Amino acid sequence: MTFKQCLYLTLCTFLSVQCETEKLPLETSENIRLNQIGYYPSSVKEFILADHKASTFRVMDTLGELVFKGKLQDRGTWDTSGEQVMSGDFSDLKTPGTYIIEIDSIGASHPFSIEKGVYEEALSASIKSYYFQRASMPIEETYGGIYKRAAGHPDSACAYHASSRHKKGQLNSPGGWYDAGDYGKYIVNAAVSTGQMLHLLEQYPDAIPDASLNIPESGNGQSDLWDELLYELNWIRTMQDRDGGVYHKLTAKNFSGFIMPENYDLERFVIGKGTAATLNYAAVMAQAGRLYTSADPVWSAEAIISAEKAWKWALRNKNVPFSNPEDVSTGQYDDTVFSDDFYWAAAELYIATGEKKYLKYLDSHPEPYQHQLTNSWKFFVRNNAFHSLLENRDKLPEKTASSMVSNHLKLADSLLVKIDKNPYHVALDRYEWGSNSDVLNQAMILCVAHRLSGDEKYIAGAERINDYIFGKNATGYCFLTGFGSKRVMFPHHRPSGADGIEDPVPGFVIGGPNHDRQDQHDVEYSSEHPAKAYKDVEPSFASNEVCINWNAPAVFVLSYLEQNRKE
């Protein structure tokens, strides 16, 4: 039992005794929504009271002592959740400890902490989730504890599907991460996810020290995050054809049932080959290559060469979209617009090589400075490019760099306006598949704005958004498996569903509310309101699945906050 869990049990015991002796309304109320993990001492600290009218609130410590009293603000109706919303602010409370919020006539909140390093455990778990997703190797008890399992999917002799441009023979393509709740491996999603975390390592190379995650590579002298990313990058490299083009995915023709990896009995195929996968490969290999130069110059040089080869293939094949062949029904990750993919690849290749042809391409093919919601694997590649260029703006013409900084701060400011107007203090106004990644990508944009400007308002905005993931949302769930008081217990994740262990594998950000509810023929949702269109049941792939591109921005944001809220 962790220290936090002990505090939680102590607090629950205290509340129970106090209820019996003083008859106070201290039962936990699901109408009070807040960050169930907690806050840094200097953070903005807010909570939501839904569908209940009150004027004041109290913050109590574990001894039952009043430590703060505040007034509630009426935020009106949030049409997206169908709720009457009030909010409370206790930012002036900075003393470390474990607390609850009490509101007369309704009860108490879930417990939360105020402490330095409040996200350390959540950050480590969100990265460790990738280790649990490793294909082609066992998860040993030494590193995985009760979630140990046998190896699955050696992927040493995968047949080429006819869609792979009629390639003959077999491909040796071991390693990498399972993409989501299924056992497929997909290049476009692997690239954008890895790219976001590589950006963290560029900003803070020592953010995740060696031996901090307890993975097989721990102790080798380099960051455990880099080691985890390298496991995926080495698989990505296997998916490049000799001509420079890159295969789209490695899956069976159909999804398996909810079985463990070692019980998988479907034939695996190398499927598709196209412009999106090739350009995303070019981008992430150029990015990884330049960041890994000092650690392994040979690997780095080979990665950049392979990225340039992919770029040349894409120039010869500018419009080769992918869609599932008639006999394939696994994840499609389709795309028909490649301008943003070209832009990301050109950006990373320019930074890596310094060759002016890539800068010329960027100048002649500008992209709109925006954040498009949903399908981050399709739309956030543009933002990946912006973030890398901003981090390396000393390599850009002064006018270009200045304009890009200005555009980024304008985008960040527009998010802050939405946060201030929204009753829940979030910037999201659409709830689609993987809405939690949209929330976290917005927080990432604000973190980058803080890095550029040093302005407190941006990191405070990122924190307010981050609270949503950990419980300050219309469902009341903490959306990171293994954390919070109201936990996700039944994610759409095959190992968690088949391993016989009550608790799911920890550290996964689940997809979150999804207004489209593509699985509603199998799942009975309790609400049609977009912000509540969520169900914690295993069949709900539309709201309760896990995915590597939903965890990637969580890794970035949590680490950025840990690096910048050390006080």
Convert 203-239 to b/e letters by CB count within 10 Å (16 or more is b).
bbeebbebebbebebeeeebbbbbbbbbbbbebbbbb
C-alpha to C-alpha distance for 301 and 354, rounded to whole angstroms: 14
Catalytic residue set? 182, 492, 536, 545
Distances (CA, A) of 313 to 135, 246, 437: 28, 9, 31
Question: CA geometry: angle at 294 spanning 290 and 298, to 5°?
Answer: 75
One-letter amino acid at 496 equals: S
C-alpha to C-alpha distance for 354 and 359, rounded to whole angstroms: 8
Beta strands in 139-252 (DSSP E): 158-160, 170-171, 185-186, 247-251
Enumerate the β-bridge partners of residue 185: 250
- For 201, the 3-state DSSP assignment is helix
C-alpha to C-alpha distance for 443 and 562, rounded to whole angstroms: 14
C-alpha to C-alpha distance for 460 and 168, rounded to whole angstroms: 54
Enumerate the β-bridge partners of residue 510: 546
Q: How close are the terminal C-alpha atoms of the chain, in Å?
A: 27
